[in-house]
Amino acid sequence: MTTQAEMQIAPSAHAHVERKWWHYFTFCEDHKVIGLQYLVTAFFFYAIGGALATAIRTELATPASDFVSPNTYNSLLTLHGTIMIFLWIIPAGAGLANYLIPLMVGARDMAFPKMNAMAFWMVPPAGLMLVLSFFLESPQAGWTSYPPLSLMTGKVGEGIWIFSLLISGTSSILGAINFLVTILKMRVPTMTIHKMPLFCWSMLATAGLILVGTPVLAGALILLAFDLLAGTSFFNPMGGGDPIVYQHMFWFYSHPAVYIMVLPLFGAISEILPVHARKPIFGYKAIAYSSLVISFLGLIVWAHHMFTSGTPAWLRMFFMITTMIIAVPTGIKVFGWLATIWGGKISYNSAMLFAMGFIAVFVIGGITGVMLAAVPFDIHVHDTYFVVAHLHYVLFGGSVFGIYAAIYHWFPKITGRMVNETLGQIHFVLTFIGMNLTFMPMHELGLMGMNRRIAFYDARFTSLNQLATVGSYILAVSTVPFLINAVWSWMKGAKATDNPWNALTLEWQTSSPPAIENFEVLPVLTTGPYDYGEHQSEEGKLPPGASPALSGSSSGS
């Protein structure tokens, strides 16, 4: 236990200013306001994306195209994909990062608060544009928007789609600059890089991916916009262009985007599990560096989305190997998490249930991910419901479970009130059942021959599709207890203490909700972020609510 002698005292000028509700609707530079703005906005778009998904599943309840027209169906799936990725999961991750990074590293705010606010305020217009495009000539070429199809159908919507993605991409880049600089440069002096919470590690990896990947997508979209609006032929074979180049540029971003969506939640899970299992994280450095390895490998696997497209044999083999290797750092994480909870004293609250549910469903997505990397197998299942199942196990089972776990875990910190556990557990059970019922049958559908993105299908697939549709309705219903819980607990929930989970990371060492400048006195670390159980031998049983790990914190003040 090393105690630092020097203490950095920088009392804040605004520490006792109250945060008013209307601040949340303004251009506010406080990272906590921005974090919440992101989370709430993202959830709003999640509801829209979810409604679209329910419409898609309703259409697919019968083999015929009877609920919506095939054109509308394609708009539904295009907007569902785009909204869920660019307006729900990525902004939700950014929201968590905004809220947590400064608190976790002991900073008063992000490095560039104004830019941070700008980044957030790009999201609502981008999202609203996209939603409005549905009522014009909506985009119908899928969220991948492959030319030449995207140059031929729903042109107005396609233009809006491009513009909207450029805006949200810019927002994402500005946010990532903030995360990177804050994590690297603004930690309290006592926090060495190896005492940094794992969420910060994973956000570091995420920020790197955003900064390298998103600009390339922007490049692709600029060229696509020229094809669409100015009549050039970069990607249009009719004029001598090459649609494969678009696919490469698109996936160079959009594969890393999967890690941009799931790495923040890997980090969140690494925070949540040790706290509720009362055990140190198993293999801190392995988990920390595996994020960076995933991020690096994530940049050199993109063409596995193009195995059946214009990808020559040797490239197929190269991308097969790199893709499979990603299983190794991911496996390190999963096994590390399992070893963390093994032998712990686990409290099964909503946060922990979602965190363990995350591991349970994510591992299925991971296994099918390795399968899909195998070129001969991928050739069979590419663009089928097997892929749909896989990606939803990763993005719903991974990201969405992770977001829920994070919301339940940090809810007391953010709102100063506890969640209702009963509603939380109902939410978990419904989500877990609904998710598996919706997406598990899709594996078999894809293997048996059902292609994706179709408004009507062969009648022999009916029963499994109906099962999935029932599952999707359960999923839709499952958000109701969550919403009631969140709103009711925020208003009327039991008051939370500053550190209800007895956690060791810095965000718990300040008041709940944190003061405007986060800390009365900047904290000085005395232990690592996950040193649970370490002081029992020396100091005996510690009373709950005490903050054994830190001195100079403001808890209790």
Q: Which of residues 90-129 bind another protein (CB under 8 A)?
A: 107-109, 111-113, 115
Which residue from 222, 459, 477, 494 is in contact with another protein, where contact means CB under 8 A?
222
Instruction: Give the pair of three-digit tokens for residue 289.
Output: 């560096």
x/- letters, 159..188, toward another protein (CB under 8 A)? --------------x--xxx-xx--xxx--
Dihedral sign of CA atoms 234, 236, 241, 247 in order: positive
Nearer to another protein (CB atom), residue 140 or residue 499: 140
Q: Does 220 bind another protein (CB under 8 A)?
A: yes
Cα(32)–Cα(517) distance, integer angstroms: 10
Nearest to 393 by CA among 423, 357, 361, 348: 361
Instruction: Give the pair of three-digit tokens for residue 71.
Output: 């054109």
Nearer to another protein (CB atom), residue 42 or residue 177: 177
Nearer to another protein (CB atom), residue 39 or residue 177: 177
- Report the site for another protein in 286-305 (rule: CB under 8 A): 286
Nearer to another protein (CB atom), residue 23 or residue 453: 453
Which residue from 92, 351, 522, 550 is in contact with another protein, where contact means CB under 8 A?
522
Residue 550 phi, psi (nearest 5) = -130, 145
- Three-state SS string across 225-238, please? HHHHHHCCCCCCHH
Which residue from 165, 356, 405, 407 is in contact with another protein, where contact means CB under 8 A?
356
- Report the site for another protein in 198-217 (rule: CB under 8 A): 211-216
Give the H or E element holding residue 551. strand 550-551
Q: Does 368 bind another protein (CB under 8 A)?
A: yes
Minimum CB–partner distance for residue 490 and another protein (Å) = 27
Nearer to another protein (CB atom), residue 325 or residue 484: 325
- Report the site for another protein in 369-398 (rule: CB under 8 A): 370-371, 374-377, 379-380, 382-384
Query: In terms of C-beta density within 10 A (0-12 exposed, 13-18 middle, 19 or more buried), how is residue 466 classed?
Result: middle
Cα(135)–Cα(475) distance, integer angstroms: 26
- Report the site for another protein in 426-485 (rule: CB under 8 A): 443-444, 447-449, 451-458
Q: Segment contacting another protein (CB under 8 A): 39-47, 68-76, 264-272, 464-472?
A: 68-76
Q: What DSSP string describes 60-110?
A: TTSSSS-SS-HHHHHHHHHHHHHIIIIIIIHHHHHHHHHHHHHHHHT-SS-
Which residue from 499, 532, 552, 554 is in contact with another protein, where contact means CB under 8 A?
532
The amino acid at residue 279 is K
Coil, strand or helix at 10? coil
Q: Segment contacting another protein (CB under 8 A): 40-48, 396-404, 416-424, 534-542?
A: 534-542
Instruction: Give the pair of three-digit tokens for residue 393.
Output: 């196990």
Cα(74)–Cα(154) distance, integer angstroms: 10
Residue matched to tokens 């299908």: 457
Question: Judged by CB under 8 A, how many residues of this single chain contact another protein?
Answer: 149
Nearest to 499 by CA among 423, 425, 420, 416: 416
Q: Does 317 bind another protein (CB under 8 A)?
A: yes
- Report the site for another protein in 230-289 (rule: CB under 8 A): 230-234, 237-245, 248-249, 252, 277-286
Q: Segment contacting another protein (CB under 8 A): 62-70, 127-135, 392-400, 469-477?
A: 62-70
Nearer to another protein (CB atom), residue 135 or residue 314: 314
Terminus-to-terminus CA distance in the chain, angstroms? 24
Which residue from 229, 310, 463, 495 is in contact with another protein, where contact means CB under 8 A?
310
Which residue from 367, 483, 487, 494 is in contact with another protein, where contact means CB under 8 A?
367
Which residue from 84, 223, 261, 265 is in contact with another protein, where contact means CB under 8 A?
223
Minimum CB–partner distance for residue 502 and another protein (Å) = 8
Q: Does 193 bind another protein (CB under 8 A)?
A: no
Residue 33's alpha-carbon distances to 116, 351, 412, in angstroms, are 11, 22, 15
Q: Does 500 bind another protein (CB under 8 A)?
A: no
Residue 416's alpha-carbon distances to 37, 190, 409, 510, in angstroms, are 17, 27, 12, 11
Residue 174's alpha-carbon distances to 109, 180, 213, 378, 469, in angstroms, are 15, 10, 13, 36, 38
- Report the site for another protein in 16-55 (rule: CB under 8 A): none
* Other beta carbons less than 10 A from residue 156's beta carbon: 13
Q: Segment contacting another protein (CB under 8 A): 37-45, 117-125, 198-206, 341-349?
A: 341-349
Name the CA dihedral angle for 97, 100, 182, 4, rounded to a multiple of 10 degrees.
Answer: -150
Q: Segment contacting another protein (CB under 8 A): 155-163, 346-354, 398-406, 485-493?
A: 346-354
Minimum CB–partner distance for residue 535 and another protein (Å) = 9
Nearer to another protein (CB atom), residue 121 or residue 456: 456
Cα(453)–Cα(451) distance, integer angstroms: 7
Report yes or no: 280 and 530 within 8 Å, Cβ to Cβ.
yes
